[in-house]
Chain A
Amino acid sequence: MTTYQEFIQQNEDRDGVRCSWNLWPSSRLEATRLVVPVSCLFTPLKERPDLPPVHYEPVLCSRANCKAVLNPLCQVDFRAKIWACNFCFQRNPFPPSYAGISEVNQPAELMPQFSTIEYIVQRGPPTPLIFLYVVDTCLEEEDLQALRESLQMSLSLLPPNALVGLITFGRMIQVHELSCEGIAKSYVFRGTKELTPKQIQEMLGLMKPGVSGPHGQPLAPHDAAASCRFLQPVQKVDMNLTDLLGELQRDPWPVPQGKRPLRSTGIALSIAVGLLEGTFPNTGARVMLFTGGPPTQGPGMVVGDELKTPIRSWHDIQKDNARHLKKATKYYEALANRAAVNGHSIDIYACALDQTGLLEMKCLSNLTGYVGHIVMGDSFNTSLFKQTFQRVFSKDYNGEFRMAFGGILEIKTSRELKVSGAIGPCVSLNSKGSCVSENELGVGGTCQWKICSLSPSTTLALYFEVVNQHNAPIPQGGRGAIQFVTQYQHSNMQKRIRVTTIARNWADAQSQIQHIEASFDQEAAAVLMARLGVFRAESEEGPDVLRWLDRQLIRLFMFHLRRSPFLQVFNNSPDESSYYRHHFVCQDLTQSLIMIQPILYSYSFYGPPEPVLLDSSSILPDRILLMDTFFQLVIYHGETISQWRKARYQDMAEYENFKQLLQAPLDDAQEILQTRFPMPRYIDTEHGGSQARFLLSKVNPSQTHNNLYAWGQESGAPILTDDVSLQVFMDHLKKLAVSSSA
C-alpha cells in the first residue's frame, strides 16, 4: 500500500474527492469525538481527459428508494446475470442489453478504474444554452463603452446556437426584443414596482396561447426560439444585437446633484428571472448581471439615492442600522430560489469603486452560480473585468465550454452512514431519503441538491454522520460506500450523468486509532472546517457564532484562517466579505488552501525562487516577493530592489541579471493569472508603496512596532498592528491544548 498521501492524491485525481478521514470510525460515538466530521470535498465535474463518456443509460438498483447505480463495488453473479446493490443489498437482474456479460466481458461501470464514470443519456430534446445579459446603464460613459465592447466581443465567444437576450436597466428596465427588423423594440418596466412572475410574463406578451408552452414545461427549443422574441440564437441576431449594444446609451434621466443614479437592479433581475421562468424553465441558462453600483430604488434596493446616506458598513450591520439589508436580502433570496428551481443561474459582475450590494445579492450566485460568477472590480474598463469575463467563455481540451447547467447531485450512502449536508453553491431539493441524517451541517435535510451552474472546479463540501451504534460493530474489513450521482446538461447540450462511487474502510477507533489518525487529510479538513466556519458566519448571527468559531479554529490551529477575510470583517466592506466567502465555498481544495493561507514566493540573487514563510520576517530589502492570495497577486519589490529599479539598472546591459530577476516574478504571476478565475487583482508594488498594504496585511506580524527593537536586528519589515502574531497564537494554543477545559 502506498502512503496515504499518494492514496489521497490518487483518489482526488480519479474521483475528485478529498475526505477528511480516509478510515472511518465505525460508530457514532467515536466519530463525534474526532471533532472533524467524516466529510469530503467533492468536485463533481472534475476534468477527466482520460474518461470517455459512455453512450448508454446507467443501470439502476430496482429498489424504489435506492436506485443506486451499478458500480465496481457491486457483487455480480455473472452466471445468473444478477448484481447485488452494495447500498441496499437488493439483488437485481441485469437488463437484457447486458445479456452478454461475463467475467471477461464486463461493462465499463464494473471496472475498478471506472469508479467515476460518465453516461450520456437521451432525455428529451436538447436545449440550447441561454445567456441573458442584464446590463446597468447608469455607468460612466467610459465604463459603458468598455462594457459595450466586452459584451459585443462575448457574442463571438458564444456557441452559435446559444440563445441570447438583453435587458438593460437604469431608472427603468428595458427588455429588448431581438427578432425584429427595422424598429428596435423593447419592453419597458418601471424600476419601483414589484411584479409577480405572471404579470411579467403577461406584460411581455408571453402568456398568450401559442407563444409559450404550458407553465412548467419546457418548450421544444425550436418553438421556443421562434416564439420568444427576447431570446434568440446568437447566429441569427448577431448583427442586430451588436448594433443594439452599440447604440446602448447611458440612462438618460438626469441625476441631480447629491444623488445617486436610480438603479433598478432588483426589478431588472426579477424580470430576467421571470422571463426565463416563463420561457425556458428547467433549461440551462445564465443570467449575467453587469452592474456599476448599488440598487437604489424599488424592491431590492440597498441604499437610497441620497449621496449623504452612505451604503451600509459592517458597523451599521452590527448596530442594526442597515435599513434595507434584510428586506433586500430576503428579496434576492426569493429570486434566487425561483431561479434555482428552474435551473437558471445568476452571475454578478459588479464593477464599482464603492460597494454594489453584493452582500444582499450574493445569494443569487451562491445559490445558483458556480465559482467566480461573482466578479468584483473597480471598473468595467479594467483588465480584471475584461479578462475575467472573457474567461467565462473559455473552452476545455475538447473545445467545449467549461460550464455545465442544471446539475443535480444525489448522494447515496451505505447503511452506516448518513449525509448531514452540503456547503457550496447549491440548493436543497428537499429530497428525503433513507440516507439523510437528522443532524444538519450546511444545507442539509436532503440527499439531492441542485447546482444550477457547474464548472470543472466547482467543489462542494459534504458532511456525513456515522450512524452505526457502538454496540453494533462492523465486521472487520467492512467498507462504507458513498455514491455521487450528478446529472447535468453539458455545454454541448448533451444530458449527462456522472457517477462516482467511493468506499472507505471502517476502523474501530479504540483499536485502530493510529490508523485513523494516519488517514487524516489535513488539507481537506482545513478546507472543510473553514467552509463550515464561513457557512456559520454567514448564516448565523451573534457573538455565539464567533465564539464557536474561535474555539473550533483554535483547536484546529488555523491561524491564517482566523485572520482571513472569510471570517474577519475588519477592513472589509460587507460586499468584499461576501465576495470572498462566495469564492471560498466554491473553489476546490487547492484554491481554497491558497485563500486560507496565501502563498509567498521570494526571488533573490541568492538562488531560485523559493516559498517563504508568510511572515513579516520574509520581507527583506533585497528580495522580490510574489504573494498569491487567490484574489490578489502582489509583486513586492524590496527596498533595495526598488531603488535599483528606480535607478534603471535593469536597462543597463551589465545588469542583465537584475533584469531577469525583475522579470521572473512577472512571468510567474502571468502564469497564475492565466488560469485563475476570476482574474485576481494584480498588484505591482514596492517597499513603501501604498499598495504594499496588501502584502503587509497578510503576513504574520512577527515583528510589530511593539517588538521591533526587541529582536535587535533589522530584518524584515515591522507591521503596524495589534493583531496577535503566530508566535503568540501558538503560545496560547499550547496552553489551551494542555488545559483540561478544552
Chain B
Amino acid sequence: MICDEWRSRGGRDYRQVAVTSFLADDVCVHLSVKGCQPRFRDELKMNVNQQPHMASPYGQPQSGYQGYQQTGYGNQHVPGGYPTPYAPYNGPASTYQPGPPQGYSPYASFSSKALATNLVSDLSSPSPLDLGMRGPPTSGPPPVSGTQAYSQFGQGDTQNGPPPMAALQQRPSVSQQYTHGTMQLSGPQSSFNQPFGAPPTSMQQMTNQMSGMQIGSTVPSPAGPGYAPPTVSQASASAAYTPSAPSSFAPSSAVHSQPLPPDSVAQTAPQPFYGAPPTPPQPFPGAAPPFSAAGPAQPPAPPLGSQQSFSQAHPPSQPQFTSAPPPVSTASYGGPPPTTQASHPRAPPLTSQPSTFSGGPPPTSSPSQYPQPMPQQPPVSQPNPFHSGPPQPTTAAGFPPQGGPPLRVPHPGVQGPPMTSQGPPTSQTNHVAPPQPGMLPGPPPVNMAGPPAQPSMQGYPPQQNGAFGQVRGPQPGYVGQYPGQQSYVAQPPAQAPAPAPKRLDPDSIPSPIQVIEDDKLNKGNEPFVTGVRGQVPPLVTTKFQVKDQGNASPRFIRCTAYNMPCTSDMAKQSQVPLAAVIKPLATLPLDENGPYIVDHGESGPIRCNRCKAYMCPYMQFIEGGRRFQCGFCSCVTEVPPHYFQHLDHTGKRVDCYDRPELSMGSYEFLATVDYCKNNKIPQPPAFIFLIDVSYNAVKNGMVAIVCQELKTLLDYLPRENPNVASNIRVGFVTYNKVLHFYNVKASLAQPQMMVVSDVADMFVPLLDGFLVNVAESRVVIESLLDQIPDMFADTRETETVFGPVIQAGLEALKAADCAGKLFVFHSSLPIAEAPGKLKNREDKKLVGTDKEKSLFQAQVSFYSNLAKECVAQGCCVDLFLFPNQYVDVATLGVVPTSTGGSIYKYTYFQGQADQERFLNDLRKDVQKQMGFDAVMRVRTSTGIRPTDFFGSFYMSNTTDVELAGLDCDKTVTVEFKHDDKLSEETGALMQCAVLYTSCSGQRRLRVHNMAVNCCTQLADLYRNCETDTIINYFAKYAYRGVLNNPTKNVRDSLINQCAQILACYRKNCASPSSAGQLILPECMKLLPVYLNCVLKSDILHPGADISLDDRAYLRQLVSAMDVAESHAFFYPRLLPVHKLNVEGNALPVAVRDSEERLSKGGVYLLETGLNLFLWVGANAQQELLQNIFGAPAFSQIDPNMTSLPILDNPYSKRLREIIESFRAQRSRYMKLMVVKQEDKLELIFKHFLVEDKNNSGGASYVDFLCHMHKEIRQLLS
C-alpha cells in the first residue's frame, strides 16, 4: 500500500529506498507463498510498493517483513496486530503461514498501532496507505527518531496505540477465534515468538508494546491509572517496556499475536491488565478467545480492565511505535513528510497521523501536544486535535480523508475504530473513563483543543480538500509529525525482522461509523435548507430537519452527485453514476409539512407549452409577468390571465411566497379530468384480500391469523381525512386449487361463497356484493372472517394456483372499473393445473455458473404479461409468502415488482412465533398511504435526460414510469446521462411529476423539483457526492444485471467501475501522491467498504445456506429500497447495548460490523432493516442479563424468544424503546432474534458482520480495500 509512496519518498531518501526494498522482499515473499490471497495483502502492501518488492527480495524475507512492519503497520500493531492478522491468515491460507512470519511482520506492522493509526488516518483519508507508507520508510530510519518518536508516540501511541491494540487484539481474537487458537499456538505463535525473539532488540519496541501490554499488567498501576496518563503510562510503559520487553516480549508477542498471549505471557501481565481493566474482554471481544484461554484472568478484569486491556494493548503498540517509529519517523519524516503529504495530500489529513500529526504539526509539539491534550483527555486530546482538524477536513472533504479521517477517527473514533490508530487508545481511554463520556469529554475537549487545532486543521483542510497542492504546503508541517510516524514505521522494521504482521489495521481504514457520527455532529443540529443549489444533504443516518425552500427535500430525492459534470466526457471519465433516488410519496416526520396542495382551477396545472413541465420555482417570469420562460427547455409560455401577477423589482412575482409552486421544491396539483383514465373521474380504489386456504396455510395458522386481524384492520384503511371513513372498498377471495369469492353485500344475512373451479379461464363470478364498503357490510364481513378458518379447518387440499388468483383480483377491479391493491397471502409453489403453473426448478448447482441468471428470471412469461394487464388497470399486488419450501419467488414476484407492490416472505411461518412480524407488516402495508394507478415522469433541463429507471414498476415506453400502486416506501432510482453540455450557471434541473389517484379517489399530481450544480472541475464532483446514494444505485444496477449476466461479470463490472471512479479521482484530483498510495475522496471514502458489502450480499455472492428464493426475494426487495434502507441493509447498524445510557435519549455510538468489535461481555443490537439481532456475549454481566432478559445467567436465556420480556427497570425499558424506534423507522417489521455467543444462530448473525470475511468467501473489508487499491493502481498505470 504504502510502498509506492515509500518509493517516491524513497527516491528522496535512501532510507526509504532501503525500506522499499524490504518491502519488496516482503511482497515477493507473500506472493510467492500465498498465491492469490497474497494479492490482498499485496494490495495492502500495495502501499508498500509491491511491485518493487516483488522483484528483489525473496531472499530476505525478514527484511521484507521489516519493511512491512515498517510500512508502518508494524509499528504499533506489530505486537498485537500481528497476532490477529496472522491468525486469520493462518487460518485461511496455509500459504500465508509460510508467509506469516514475513507476512506477519507486515501485518503485524499493520496491525500495530502505528499502522493502525497510520492506516486509519491514511485510509480514512486517502492516505491511510500513506501512513503505512510512512511507516515503512520510517522503518528504515526509525532508530534515531525512534526515541523521539517514542516519546511522542508514547503519548500519541498511547492514544493511537491503544486502539490498535484493541484492534489488534480484537483481530487476533477474531482470527484466533476462528482458527487461531490453535494456529497461533502451534505455528504462528512460534513464528511470532520467534520473530519476536529474533529481533529482540528491535523487538524492544515490540516487546515494549507487548510489554506494555503485559507491562500494563506488570505495571498495571501506571497503565491503569493513567490513561489520561496513558501517555504517561505509555511513556512509563515504554520505558518499562524496553526493559521488560525483551524478556517479556516473546511472551507478550505471543500474546499479541495470539490473543492467547495473555495466557502464556499475559497471565502475568494480562491478568493484571484485566484485573485492572475488567472490561478488557469487551474491547477485545475479538480477543475474547484468547481471553477465553486466558479467560479467567480477563473475565476478572472488569470494565476498566477492558480499557486497561486496551491501554495495554495500546501500550504495546505504542511501545513499538515508540521504539521503532521514533527513530524512523523522525529521520524519515524529514523525507517522508512529503510523502506522507503526498499520499495524504489528503494525507495531511493523514490526520490518522494527524493525531500524531496534530500532535505532529506541532509535531514536536505533538508529543507535547499529545501529552497535553492527552493529559487533558488522553484519548480526546488526540481526537481533539483531530477533531479540530477533522471537522474541517471532513467538511473540507479532501483530505478529510487523512485529516478528515483522522478527525473522524478522533471524534467517532475516540470510541471506535477511528480511534483505531489513535482512537483505540482514545477509545480505550475513553472507555476507561467512560467510553461515551470519553467521547463527550472528548468532543468538548476536542472542541477545546479543537479550536487551536482547528486552525491548523483548517489550514489543512484546504490542503486536504483539494488540494493536494495545498496539502503539500501544510505537509511540511506535517512532516514534522510524520517523522514520528515514520519513526514508527522505522520501528516496525526493526521489529519487522521479527514478525512483521502484514495486515492492515482495520482501525486504520475508513470507518463508516466515524463518518456517520461526524455527519451527525456536523449536520444534525441545524435544519437542512433546500434553497441552496447543489448542497449535499446530511446522511440518511443523521436526524435532521428539512426546510423546503425551492428544492425537494432529500427525503424525496437524493442524488448521487450534487455537482454534475458539465460534459459527458467528464462524466465518462469519472464514472460516477449520475442518478437520483426518488421516493415520491415519502412520509415526512411530524415536524415537517407535507406538500401543499395547489389548485389551478378547471384548466388544470399551468405548464410549459413545449416540454410540459409543471409550474415550478425554475420558471422565470418575464415581460412584467405576462409570460414565463421554462427553466427546462427555455420555451416562453403565456401566463393565463387568471394566473397573472405583477413582478417585483427583482423580477419575482409578488405572490411568489404565497404560492407553493413558485417557492417550494415539492407540492401537489389537483388534477383535472383531463388527467384521468378515459377522461373519467376515477372510482375510489379497492383492496382485495386473497387468502390461500390450502392445507399448509391452514396448518401454519396463517389463515386464522389473517382473518382475525382483518376484522380490526379494516377500520384502518388509508384515508386522507382521519375523521372520515375510508372510501376504499374491500373484497375477499380464498383459494386453493380453486377460487372462492365471497358476496358480502350488506343486505345479506350471511355471506355467500362462490366457487370458481375454472381456473384456466378466470373470471369474477359476481359484481354486486364483492367489493363493499366496510362500514356498511361490517356484520357480513365479520361473519365471513369468522367462518373462513372453520370452513377450511379440515381441508386436505395441498395444491394451489397463483396466476388465476391475481387474474381474479384483476378481473374484479376491471369489473368495478377502479384501481386497487391485491393482498395475496400465499403458501406454496403453484403446481395445480392452471395458467401460471410452475415447476420446481430449484437447482443450486447452477449457482456460480453462467446459467445462474436463469434463477433470477421468471420461469414462465405468463406473469409478465399478467403484470402488464395489472398495470393497465392500476392493480397493485402485494404478496405475502408463507413457504415451507421452494416457491419460486423469482417468478411469483414478477407481478408484485412490476406493479409497485411489495413481497413479504415468512419462511417456515409459525403462527405463534411469526405472528407479530407478519401482523405488523400487514398492518403497515394496509394502512400506509399510497397512490394508485400512478404515472411518473422525470423531466430535466437541457443537457441531461433520464435514461434508466430502477424500481418496482412497469414501463411501456422509455419515459413514463407506470406504477399500478405507489406507496410511501417505494423508491424509484433514475439514472441520467448527458446529451449535451451543461452550464455551471444554470445547473441541472429535474422535475419529477407523479400523477396518481389518492386513496380517496382524487386524481393528483405530485411534483418534486430538484436543482443541482454543474461543475467543470472533477474535484467539485467528488466533493459533492453521496456515497450512500451511489451504493443504492450500484446495488440496484447490479441486482438488475444479474438477470441477464453471469454474476461474476456483474461483480467485476462493479469493482471496475468503482476502481475507475477512485482512479479518476486519484489521477485528476490527487495527483501529487505516489502511485502506491490509496487515496480516497472524502465523500467516497466509504465506497470500498460499502461496495464490498454489496458484492458480498447474498445476491452477488451467495453462501451455501441461502436459498434461491431468498436471493430472488432480496433482489426484488432491494430494487425499490430507499437510501436509508439500503444503507442499513448493506451495512447493518450494530449498537453496543451494554453501553446504553439509560438516562438520556442518545443512542450509544454504533460499532463497526466486525466480530472483533464485539466484546464477550457485551450485548449488541444489530439492525439490518429486515432483521434485528440481539447478540449476547458469553461473559455478559449478570446484572445486564437480569435487566434485559430477567434471566439470571447466560445459559438461562431462551434463544427462541422473539420479544424481550417487559421488565420494570430503566434499562429494559430503554432497550425496548430503542427496538421499537428501530422498527418504526423501517417499512418492515424486524423480528428480534436473540443470539447467544457460540450458539448455532451465531452463524446467521455473523453473516451480517460485513467487515469480516464471510463463510462463503466474501472478502473482508481490509482485503477488499487492498484489492481495490490494486485495481486502482492498475488503472493508473
Residues of A participating in the B interface, judged by any CB pair closer than 8 Å: 172, 174, 177, 182-190, 193, 195, 202-205, 247, 249, 252-254
Find A184's partner among B738, B752, B766 (CB 8 Å cutoff): B752
Find B755's partner among A186, A193, A252 (CB 8 Å cutoff): A186
B325 within 8 A of A: no
Find B756's partner among A184, A187, A205 (CB 8 Å cutoff): A187
Find B754's partner among A174, A193, A254 (CB 8 Å cutoff): A174
Residues of B participating in the A interface, judged by any CB pair closer than 8 Å: 738, 740-742, 748, 750-758, 761, 763, 765-769, 783-784, 787, 791
Chain B residues whose CB sits within 8 angstroms of the CB of A172 once the complex forms: 763, 765
Chain A residues whose CB sits within 8 angstroms of the CB of B752 once the complex forms: 183-186, 247
Chain A residues whose CB sits within 8 angstroms of the CB of B767 once the complex forms: 252-254
Chain B residues whose CB sits within 8 angstroms of the CB of A187 once the complex forms: 754-757
Find A188's partner among B750, B751, B756, B784 (CB 8 Å cutoff): B756
CB distance from A564 to the nearest CB of B (A): 46
Find B753's partner among A184, A190, A204, A205 (CB 8 Å cutoff): A184
Known A187-B756, A193-B761; 16 more pairs at CB < 8 Å: A172-B763, A182-B750, A182-B791, A183-B742, A183-B753, A183-B784, A183-B791, A184-B751, A185-B754, A189-B758, A190-B758, A190-B761, A203-B757, A249-B768, A252-B767, A252-B768
Chain B residues whose CB sits within 8 angstroms of the CB of A202 once the complex forms: 757
Chain A residues whose CB sits within 8 angstroms of the CB of B765 once the complex forms: 172, 174, 188
What residue in chain A is nearest B761 (Cβ atoms)?
A: A193
CB distance from A167 to the nearest CB of B (A): 13
CB distance from B691 to the nearest CB of A (A): 14
Closest 3 CB pairs of A and B: A203-B757, A188-B765, A252-B768
- The reply to whether B757 and A185 contact each other, CB–CB distance below 8 Å, is no
Find B757's partner among A182, A205, A247, A252 (CB 8 Å cutoff): A205
What residue in chain A is nearest B784 (Cβ atoms)?
A: A183
Chain A residues whose CB sits within 8 angstroms of the CB of B766 once the complex forms: 188, 252
A185 to B753, CA, bound (A): 4
A-B contact count (CB 8 A): 65
CB distance from B801 to the nearest CB of A (A): 13
CB distance from A256 to the nearest CB of B (A): 14
- The reply to whether B758 and A185 contact each other, CB–CB distance below 8 Å, is no
A-B contact pairs, 17 of them (CB 8 A): A172-B763, A174-B765, A182-B783, A183-B784, A183-B787, A184-B752, A185-B753, A185-B755, A187-B754, A188-B741, A190-B761, A190-B763, A193-B758, A193-B761, A205-B738, A247-B748, A252-B768
A189 to B748, CA, bound (A): 22
A184 to B769, CA, bound (A): 14
Given A172-B763, A174-B765, A188-B765, verify A203-B758 contact (CB < 8 Å): yes
Chain B residues whose CB sits within 8 angstroms of the CB of A195 once the complex forms: 758
A210 to B451, CA, bound (A): 88
- The reply to whether B791 and A188 contact each other, CB–CB distance below 8 Å, is no
A172 to B755, CA, bound (A): 12
- The reply to whether B748 and A188 contact each other, CB–CB distance below 8 Å, is no
Most chain A CB within a 10 A radius of its CB, from B738, B757, B784: B757
CB distance from B743 to the nearest CB of A (A): 8
Chain A residues whose CB sits within 8 angstroms of the CB of B768 once the complex forms: 249, 252
Chain A residues whose CB sits within 8 angstroms of the CB of B738 once the complex forms: 203, 205
A338 to B784, CA, bound (A): 39
CB distance from A240 to the nearest CB of B (A): 11
A203 to B740, CA, bound (A): 12
A188 to B755, CA, bound (A): 5
What residue in chain A is nearest B739 (Cβ atoms)?
A: A188
A187 to B787, CA, bound (A): 18
Chain B residues whose CB sits within 8 angstroms of the CB of A174 once the complex forms: 754, 765
CB distance from A189 to the nearest CB of B (A): 6
Most chain A CB within a 10 A radius of its CB, from B752, B784, B787: B752
CB distance from A267 to the nearest CB of B (A): 10
- The reply to whether B784 and A186 contact each other, CB–CB distance below 8 Å, is no
A189 to B761, CA, bound (A): 10
A187 to B757, CA, bound (A): 7
CB distance from B811 to the nearest CB of A (A): 11
A182 to B780, CA, bound (A): 11
A589 to B766, CA, bound (A): 49
Chain A residues whose CB sits within 8 angstroms of the CB of B754 once the complex forms: 174, 185-188
CB distance from B805 to the nearest CB of A (A): 15
CB distance from B832 to the nearest CB of A (A): 11
- The reply to whether A184 and B761 contact each other, CB–CB distance below 8 Å, is no
Given A172-B763, A172-B765, A190-B763, verify A184-B750 contact (CB < 8 Å): yes
A252 to B752, CA, bound (A): 15
Chain A residues whose CB sits within 8 angstroms of the CB of B756 once the complex forms: 187-189
A152 to B766, CA, bound (A): 24
What residue in chain B is nearest A208 (Cβ atoms)?
A: B796
- The reply to whether A204 and B787 contact each other, CB–CB distance below 8 Å, is no
Chain B residues whose CB sits within 8 angstroms of the CB of A189 once the complex forms: 756-758
A187 to B783, CA, bound (A): 20
A193 to B767, CA, bound (A): 19
A737 to B1072, CA, bound (A): 133
What residue in chain B is nearest A204 (Cβ atoms)?
A: B757
CB distance from B757 to the nearest CB of A (A): 3
What residue in chain A is nearest B742 (Cβ atoms)?
A: A183
- The reply to whether A186 and B757 contact each other, CB–CB distance below 8 Å, is no
Most chain A CB within a 10 A radius of its CB, from B753, B769, B783: B753
Chain B residues whose CB sits within 8 angstroms of the CB of A252 once the complex forms: 766-769
Chain A residues whose CB sits within 8 angstroms of the CB of B769 once the complex forms: 252
CB distance from B827 to the nearest CB of A (A): 20
A662 to B606, CA, bound (A): 85
CB distance from A202 to the nearest CB of B (A): 7
CB distance from B705 to the nearest CB of A (A): 20
CB distance from A259 to the nearest CB of B (A): 16
A205 to B796, CA, bound (A): 13
CB distance from A271 to the nearest CB of B (A): 11
CB distance from B505 to the nearest CB of A (A): 69
Chain A residues whose CB sits within 8 angstroms of the CB of B755 once the complex forms: 177, 185-188
A172 to B783, CA, bound (A): 26
Chain B residues whose CB sits within 8 angstroms of the CB of A183 once the complex forms: 742, 750-753, 784, 787, 791
- The reply to whether B787 and A182 contact each other, CB–CB distance below 8 Å, is yes
Chain A residues whose CB sits within 8 angstroms of the CB of B761 once the complex forms: 190, 193
CB distance from A185 to the nearest CB of B (A): 4
A441 to B748, CA, bound (A): 57
A204 to B758, CA, bound (A): 10
A193 to B753, CA, bound (A): 21
A184 to B791, CA, bound (A): 12
CB distance from A551 to the nearest CB of B (A): 53
CB distance from B9 to the nearest CB of A (A): 83
CB distance from A341 to the nearest CB of B (A): 25
A252 to B755, CA, bound (A): 17
A193 to B762, CA, bound (A): 11
CB distance from B694 to the nearest CB of A (A): 14
What residue in chain A is nearest B791 (Cβ atoms)?
A: A183
Chain B residues whose CB sits within 8 angstroms of the CB of A188 once the complex forms: 741, 754-756, 765-766
CB distance from A447 to the nearest CB of B (A): 42
What residue in chain A is nearest B790 (Cβ atoms)?
A: A182
A247 to B757, CA, bound (A): 23
Chain A residues whose CB sits within 8 angstroms of the CB of B748 once the complex forms: 247
CB distance from A249 to the nearest CB of B (A): 8
CB distance from A246 to the nearest CB of B (A): 10
Chain B residues whose CB sits within 8 angstroms of the CB of A185 once the complex forms: 740, 752-755
A620 to B752, CA, bound (A): 62
CB distance from B701 to the nearest CB of A (A): 21
A190 to B751, CA, bound (A): 21
What residue in chain A is nearest B767 (Cβ atoms)?
A: A252
A639 to B751, CA, bound (A): 61
A186 to B784, CA, bound (A): 15
A185 to B765, CA, bound (A): 12
Chain A residues whose CB sits within 8 angstroms of the CB of B750 once the complex forms: 182-184
A172 to B768, CA, bound (A): 13
CB distance from A496 to the nearest CB of B (A): 39
A202 to B784, CA, bound (A): 26
Given A193-B758, A203-B738, verify A186-B763 contact (CB < 8 Å): no
